[in-house]
Amino acid sequence: MLTSAPIPTVRGEDLTSGSDAVGFDVDSTEQLTVNRGLKVDGGKDNNILSEFNGPLVVNEKLTVNDSVETNSILIQGDQIIAREYTIGIATPAIAGNVGNVVYDAEPPSGGEVGWVYTNDNYWKKFGPIQSGSDNYYVGLWSGAFKGDGSGLSNVSDVWVFDGVGISTTTNVGVETTSAKVGYSLYVAGPTLFENNVEFRATSLTWNITNGFLVNTGISTFNQQVNINTMRVIGISTFRNDVLITTNDQTTGDIDGNYLRFQQTDLALNASYSYGGVKFEGRDIGNDGERGYIKGVSEGTSGQFALIFGTQGSGPSAPQERLRINNAGNATFSGTVTANSDEKLKENVVGISNALSKVLSLRGVEFNRIGQTDREIGVIAQEVEKVLPELVHEGVDGVKSVAYQNMVAVLIEAIKEQQAQIDELKARLDNL
């Protein structure tokens, strides 16, 4: 709108609005150029609206002394595309520009301020709201959270941290209504650890009622894994084997003590069990414990023995079948055999001069050094001179005798002796 005269200040209604006249000596209504200022009072009650049906461009600061009512606000800043700020009642269904914000028209207590459109093309909630008059907050925090916690007060007991480290000067509860006294970190409910988890502690206690499930395996570079519990703990794996190893270069453990069962009872008695390995089955009619290997006490002065139990079919009732007692003596409840099939042997020859060899052997009575029980046997070094095939030397230099193999020599010796007896009988019969 162009005028040929200065624009006067007008208060009240435009009395010409009901006619075809424009007023103020208007020459053209295509454009209005104002070199100084334009003031519209909006009638005597200041409530008449001034309407702009087209875009409004303000090149300088716009000052509004009262509220501004609009469907949305677009803010461009130094970006090519403006970001829109508006209000809604639910997660927006239509995609927007990254950085667009929709404020929740009815935000709940303990909820979020609204939604923001992120660079992964999703509307996501942001801005936690106090859950009550206690000034507690509940929400999701992502990114870096730094500090020793000394400046935090009146915060919720429930926090979700994404990709951060937690260092506190007090206790922390996760998925709980409160922290637990005596524990720096207390987690209730299912907990998932992915990738590597490292524990640095003097001891690690597991109180797991229903068993300890391992889908892969347990690996340690420490000298030992100690399991000390008053409850039943099981280790189950979907791998074919459970491998327990140690590296003597790391631990200095060169004795091969890979799996240890340690008793700590100071009042040891003869019926004490050190623990061991049990074997259980689940097939119908033959379920339960089927066998075991256990360490047991045989006295009150540290006497230790190993026992092995097995059983046949039927309900669980394994019996002791082999005991290696504290003196090293082995007792079998059944027959002891050794492989002697001809298909396993070659270069088979008979034993010659068996009787002469037996006559060169000496049977003795003795007791082992440090023991009082009397035994009967042979001396390995003496047997070695006559029958070296029966003597074996261990890595510690101690020699042992294969007593069961001596039977073959005795068989041939008796046969030679019987031949001599038969010959003598024949001579007598010819007299």
With contact defined as beta carbons under 8 Å apart, do 157 and 175 qualify?
A: no
pLDDT at 135 > cutoff 70: no
pLDDT reported for residue 343 = 95
Q: What is the pLDDT of residues 343-385, one digit of tens each?
A: 999 999 999 999 999 999 999 999 999 889 899 999 999 999 9
Give the Cα separation of 365 and 215 in Å (integer): 57
Pairwise pLDDT comparison (91 vs 34), residue with the higher score: 91
pLDDT tier, 13 (very low <50, low <70, confident <90, very high otherwise): very low
Give the Cα separation of 192 and 195 in Å (integer): 10
- Average pLDDT over every residue of 305-326: 93
pLDDT reported for residue 223 = 47
Cα dihedral 14, 20, 23, 27 in deg (nearest 10):
150
Give the Cα separation of 302 and 214 in Å (integer): 35
Q: Facing residues of 212 across strands?
A: 235
Give the Cα separation of 187 and 176 in Å (integer): 7
With contact defined as beta carbons under 8 Å apart, do 17 and 47 qualify?
A: no
First to last CA, the chain: 168
With contact defined as beta carbons under 8 Å apart, do 390 and 405 qualify?
A: yes
For the ranges 56-60, 63-67, 145-149, 376-380, the lowest mean pLDDT is seen at: 145-149
Tokens 């097939």 belong to: 283
Q: Which residues lie closer than 8 Å to 215 by C-beta, 6 or more apart?
A: 237, 238
Contacts 24+ apart (CB under 8 A), 402-409: 403/377, 403/378, 404/338, 408/351, 409/351, 409/354, 409/357, 409/358
Percent of the chain with pLDDT over 70: 69
pTM: 0.47
For 263-325, give the DSSP string: ---SS--TT-EEEEEEEEE-STTS-EEEEEEEEEE-SSSS-EEEEEEE--SSSS--EEEEEE-
Q: How far is CA 270 from CA 78, 300, 307, 331, in A?
A: 86, 6, 14, 18
Q: How far is CA 24 from CA 6, 8, 39, in A?
A: 9, 8, 15
CA 94 to chain centre: 41
Query: Which residues in 67-82 are b (16+ Cβ under 10 Å) and which e?
Result: eeeeeeeeeeeeeeee
Give the Cα separation of 295 and 273 in Å (integer): 6
Burial (CB count <10 Å: 0-12, 13-18, 19+), residue 357: middle
388 φψ region: left (φ > 0), alpha (ψ -120 to 50), beta (else): alpha
pLDDT reported for residue 10 = 47
pLDDT tier, 12 (very low <50, low <70, confident <90, very high otherwise): very low
pLDDT tier, 57 (very low <50, low <70, confident <90, very high otherwise): confident
CB atoms under 10 Å from CB of 257, counted, come to: 11
